[in-house]
A = this chain, B = another copy of it.
Amino acid sequence: MFKISSMVVAFSLAGSVSLVFAQALPTTAPAPANNPTTPEKVELGKMLYHDPRLSSSGTVSCASCHNTMLGGEDNRAGSVGVEGQVGGRSAPTVWNSAFNEVQFWDGRAASLEEQAAGPVTNPIEMGMKSWDDVVDRLEKIEGYQKAFKKAFGTESISKDNATKAIAAYERTLITPNSPYDKYVKGNKSALTEQQVRGMNLAVETGCVGCHSGPAFNGPGMFQKFPINYNGYLEAQYDFKKDKGLAEVTGKKEDEHLWKVPTLRNVALTAPYFHNGSVKSLDKAVSLMAKIQLDKKLSKDEISDIVAFLEALTGEFPKQEMPVLPIASGITFNK
């Protein structure tokens, strides 16, 4: 798994704070030793990622909730799975997920490969009874037989290879060249004055304590949320109902632990927080400062930080639409 190198936050004591540590987003993501990225895997993974036939109803693909034509998610509080079921967490963006140390909101998956296996058989997401059923479907389609063979060799349609291919594709979903990246690389006019103010304020306020590194999602895999909190806020935002990592582990010490989400393209991924209960980025910034850092930001300060966050919107790579293979006269649904 990719490890984000630890970074040093340096403050210029003689005046305004600056992000001298700043790192541009890498344009490629490292792959694990047992799943080197190859064009054949990426091509197969792109097909599988966009194929709704990986769901029981034939209507929900990975891309339905993690939309690669949008900000890598669905702009909803809860995503919609098979039979119109709505999930309890807001879909995280797939863009730059290769730079997360752990996956899912609660960080329960240690790799993109492990993550990719989950939603397919989740009854309220893609609803397949088992991966064996998925493999059965794929084996009926000659085009998939060929694509798996190209990517992995003979007799190779399996859960393991399907999730490897999806992960390989996801490692190509990187959005470099944001205004921030251009600024970091030396183009000082790439950010507006307000965005520079917002950047410095994000350091001063303490946002970068958790949101740092090239993807603004580290160091550290997990953080507790919410911290400075009360019943009044809970009545509005419901942040504590979901216990985060503890929902998986059942451990008291994991309650309300969450993966630190990337801030890359955050302007594109409303609504915000794990339950999507906050619609605007202004409000999200104000709440994060209050709840996590016990700081009250002024309207102007919020605007400045939001302007900076908008500078983290990158360039989306051109992608060719996959042509999904179909077996003659075959359907998997009523």
Q: Which residues of A contact B (CB under 8 A)?
A: 50-53, 57-59, 64, 67-71, 74-77, 80, 82-85, 267-268, 270-271, 276, 279-282, 284, 306, 310, 316, 318-324, 326, 328-334
Name the residue of chain B whose CB is nearest to the CB of A84.
B84
**CB-based closest 9 A-B pairs:** A84-B84, A281-B329, A270-B331, A267-B328, A319-B321, A268-B326, A75-B331, A59-B80, A270-B329
Contacts of A268 in B (CB 8 A): 326, 328
Chain B nearest CB: distance from A283 CB in Å? 9
A-B contact pairs, 30 of them (CB 8 A): A50-B69, A53-B75, A57-B76, A58-B76, A59-B64, A59-B76, A59-B80, A70-B324, A70-B326, A75-B326, A75-B330, A76-B331, A76-B333, A77-B333, A84-B84, A84-B85, A267-B326, A267-B329, A270-B329, A271-B334, A276-B334, A280-B329, A281-B328, A281-B329, A284-B329, A306-B329, A316-B323, A318-B320, A318-B321, A320-B321
Interface centre among A70, A276, A282 (most CB of B within 10 A): A70
Q: List B contacts of A70 (CB < 8 A).
A: 324, 326
A320 and B323: CB pair below 8 A?
no
- The answer to whether A333 and B75 have CB atoms under 8 Å apart is yes
Beyond A57-B80, A82-B84, A268-B326, 13 additional contacts (C-beta under 8 Å) are: A52-B67, A52-B74, A58-B75, A59-B80, A69-B324, A76-B333, A267-B328, A267-B329, A276-B331, A281-B328, A310-B328, A319-B320, A319-B321
Given known contacts A67-B52, A69-B324, A80-B57, is B319 in contact with A75 (CB within 8 Å)? no
Chain B residues positioned under 8 Å from A329 (CB to CB) = 267, 270, 279-282, 284, 306
Across the interface, which residues of B come within 8 angstroms of A58, CB to CB? 74-76
B306 touches A75 (CB 8 A): no
A326→B59 contact, CB < 8 A: no
Q: A59-B76, A320-B321, A323-B316 in contact; A279/B331 too (CB < 8 A)?
A: yes
Assess A334 versus B77: contact at CB under 8 Å? Given A83-B84, A321-B319, A322-B69.
Answer: yes
Query: Could you tell me the distance between the alpha carbons of A58 and B73 in the complex, rounded to whole angstroms?
Result: 11
Max chain B C-beta neighbours (<10 A), residue from A280, A332, A334: A334
| A321 to B319 CA separation, bound complex (whole angstroms) | 5
Which residues from chain B contact A322 at a C-beta distance below 8 Å? 69
Which of A71, A280, A333 has the most B CB atoms < 10 Å from its CB?
A333
| Cβ distance A169 to chain B, nearest Cβ, rounded Å | 13
A276 / chain B contacts, CB cutoff of 8 Å: 331, 334
B68 and A321: CB pair below 8 A? yes
A68 CA / B326 CA spacing, docked (Å): 13
Chain B residue with the shortest CB-CB distance to A51: B69
Q: Which residues of B contact A334 (CB under 8 A)?
A: 76-77, 271, 276
A51 to chain B, nearest CB (A): 8
| Chain B residues with CB under 8 A of A282 | 329
Smallest CB–CB gap between A260 and chain B, Å?
Answer: 19
